[in-house]
Structure 1
Amino acid sequence: MAATALDISWIGALSGLALAIILILFRLAPTYSLILGAIVGAFIGGADFAQAVTILVTGTQSVMGTVIRIIAAGVFAGVMMESGAAETIAKVIVDKLGGTKAMLSLALATMIITAVGVFIPVAVLIVAPIALSVGNKMGYSKVALLVALSGGGKAGNIISPNPNTIAAAGGFKLDVNQVMLGGLVPAIFGVAVAILLASLIKHKGTKVTDAEVAELEQSSTAHLPALSKALVTPLIAIVLLMISPIGSMLGSDALAKLKIDSLFILPFAGVVGSLALGKRKEILNYCSAGLNRMTPTILIIIGAGAIGGLITASSLPKEVVALVNASGISGTFLAPIAGALMAAATASTSTGVILATGSFSNAILHTGVAPLSAAVMLHASATVIDHLPHGTYFHVTRDAMKMSMAERMKVVLFESMVGLTMTIVAILMYGFIL
């Protein structure tokens, strides 16, 4: 007898998820891996052909809200990345703080430009030439420089309107600004640890050579916009996103009820920012570039929706909750465990958050954890081991810093220490204090 949607075996759901992760590790496109895992898992779980299709369609429909918000965010991301605004902000931060505070300035620069909506790999690519130049002058090692960049980027990533934050918010039916604000304290601790670690090992490892710096100096920065113009786009976005939270803190009902979704805010900020930059004719190009950058994430979300539909239709969430209760472990830890494991499996913060929320959000909420607490803890934990070699971030950052594989591997432990710090702070705050 065929199973109904609610009778799908947990074994089928777990098998489908495991198959999807294995296929991703074997380099099959994540979207196909996730959809294929969902299909196979549905059949193993007892579904017939019609029920398998229903599970896939229902699951993918459930993520459309997140998809449309990420598409809208593409306008904002395109403007920040393509106009040179992000690079201007990074250069000014480093120049103002000076070489004597190199690790602080590099970590803050990467944190800030990631926090204003630039993808973390792109943020590292933007700041890396500056870091190499500073490192050459000060005699600092590449390992230490990348610890500062990657640690700062991780901190900025959990307070940014990036796809991972949008996915964390969407998975628990929250506003993006709530998750951004919720990650602020963990992010501060994270960047502080990154600066401390980078400072402690700044003379350990391979140094930046004069030849490498000479290559960097061939590129011109004359095209970069002024800081006053570069700040328009992120400032508009931040102010509008924070209206409702600030209204709640000030006790203003009018402001608190003015909940403008990021769906409207991010493209609006991007368009106004383009005009402020004097790039009116480039708006369409920025939109196209931003959408192209968002497309891989959108496709992954669709696949994650499929596997999430399978898990939601199965008995796996109930079994997970029962297992947590039987083990005596607090349900608080389910969110960070799910985030860390999924991000490690996919070697991606965004994919890890998308997969963890799509697969385990219901189970996490059934343990009694509040949606905001779950979102912040899961989001922070996705930064613990998301930088492994089977992902693109590892190799993008290695190339940006002109490092060998052995050198890049030395950074992994320090990156995990930054992510673990943010996770512990998030658990203490949202699992036990608040």
Structure 2
Amino acid sequence: MEGLTISWIGALAGLAIAIILILRKLNPVYALFLGAIVGAIIGGANLEQTVSVLVSGTQSVMGTVLRVLAAGVLAGVMMESGAAETIAQAIVRKFGGGKAILALALATMIITAVGVFIPVAVLIVAPIALSVGNKMGISKLALLVALSGGGKAGNIISPNPNTIAAARGFELDLSNVMIAGFIPAICGLIMTVVIASLIKNKGDKVSDSEAVEHEMDTSKYPPLGKAIVAPLVAVILLMITPVGSILGIDALASLKIDALYVLPIAGVVGMLAMGRANRILEYSTAGLNRMTATVLILIGAGGIAGLISASDLSVQVVNIIEASGISGTFLAPIAGILMAAATASTSTGVILTTGSFGQAILDMGTAPLAAAVMAHTGATVIDSLPQGNYFHVTGGAMKMSIKQRMGVIPYEALVGLTMTIVATILYGFIL
């Protein structure tokens, strides 16, 4: 494949075909692969070169895939043991009914931040939200904005697949990307609470039957002190290298402890702390099963990223930006917004952005960490469109119709846009 340059027209055609097929409900993995194949052929590649494009593209995401699979152990422990539910309920109880919206947003943020997928985090907190909303008279619209906005804020500081993809795409440590997302995440949380508070009387309220239907049996959940062990161990281990760099301790800075080791270790330690050592096979299998769909989509995204990387599309994009006079800094957030909107997935949007536009973003003079944070936050703006599963999972969790769920998207976009603007100003222009 050396010396092969696919026409940017083929790259755009392949991406468009993939998006159309996803919208037509074809499995996203096949849609992405088919788009990459057709796009490569349209762009001038022969059949042998087309295979090489796909292989090189999928190989480029293997580092991310390995870390996502490793994250399955921690995710499985947090979800299957009831630890995530324990943490969520403790936060809501601590804040009380008077600060219900803040409590729900913060609970979802923390659950997502400790390694639970955002749709699963919303599913976990949704029963609590419905119960609180029924008692306090808060609309389902405001409740889902609180959950989704809090989840978005937690997602950009989590060891989840999207953050791993952002870190690996620009060859950074996962911990550095998580830390860099903290200020945008806090701003996203604040915006979530403000928006949800303003619209708490707008839309349908939670009925008594919906609240009762979602009551949970918490008797088998671990106590809070044991539930927080796994995420606490993960955070401590992930912070060793950056803390060593900040404090100038070479022994710590040179350890380079990778998420590939940290996340499974944290999961196992958490299991032992909860007295669930005999459930290790069950929890790790459940975590792996939850990661399988994400891994397959990442591989599919790698195929289309290989197509775009082998094309001259990034050169054309840079030329357009330079000719228009727009700052090249905006390429990272814009690419993140567009790719996540196209695939209705934060993680797929991030990996398409880094794989397809990563080099062009760096060529514009953007530092790798700034590029990662801006692309990552950009991918949270309009990633909840109906062609993705997040839209339907969260709508179902809150007992909302398609029309009601559509009404949440503009408010979710405002939260994501807030985080993107903060990240762009902070890392693109100030730091």
Deviations 1:5-53 (A, max 9, x none): 4332111122111111111111111111111111111111111122111
| Matching residue's letter, 2:105 | A
Q: Distance in 2 between matches of 1:42 and 1:166?
A: 28
179, 182, 206: which is aligned to 1:181? 179
Q: Distance in 2 between matches of 1:50 and 1:203?
A: 60
Superposed, 1:200-279 pairs within 5 Å as 200-217=198-215, 219-279=216-276
Q: 1:170 aligned to 2:168?
A: yes
| Matching residue's letter, 2:298 | I
- Contact residue 22 and residue 387 of structure 2 kept, 8 A: no
Q: Distance in 2 between matches of 1:39 and 1:31?
A: 12
1:216 to partner: Cα distance:
2.3
Match of 1:96 in 2: 94
* Number of residues of Structure 1 aligned to a counterpart in Structure 2: 431
Q: 1:409 aligned to 2:382?
A: no
318, 321, 334: which is aligned to 1:321? 318
Misfit runs of 4+, over 6 Å: none
Superposed, 1:108-147 pairs within 5 Å as 108-147=106-145
What secondary structure does 1:55 align onto?
Answer: helix
Match of 1:22 in 2: 20
Q: Distance in 2 between matches of 1:35 and 1:356?
A: 17
Superposed, 1:282-297 pairs within 5 Å as 282-297=279-294
Q: Distance in 1 between matches of 2:420 and 2:62?
A: 28
Unaligned runs of 5+ residues in structure 2 are none
Root-mean-square deviation (CA), in Å?
Answer: 1.2
- Contact residue 131 and residue 212 of structure 2 kept, 8 A: no
| Matching residue's letter, 1:327 | S
| Matching residue's letter, 2:385 | L
Deviations 1:288-310 (A, max 9, x none): 11111111111111111111112
What secondary structure does 2:408 align onto?
Answer: helix
Change in CA separation of 1:4 and 1:271 when aligned onto 2, cut-off 3 Å? closer
Deviations 1:326-382 (A, max 9, x none): 111111111111111111111111121122222111111111111110110000011
Match of 2:296 in 1: 299
| Matching residue's letter, 2:374 | M
Deviations 1:245-266 (A, max 9, x none): 1122222222222210000000
What secondary structure does 1:7 align onto?
Answer: coil
Q: 1:34 aligned to 2:32?
A: yes
- Contact residue 187 and residue 418 of structure 2 kept, 8 A: yes
Q: Distance in 2 between matches of 1:399 and 1:71?
A: 27
| Larger deviation, residues 380-389 vs 398-407 | 398-407
1:415 to partner: Cα distance:
0.8
**What TM-score comes out, normalization by structure 1 length?**
0.97
Match of 1:65 in 2: 63
Match of 1:44 in 2: 42
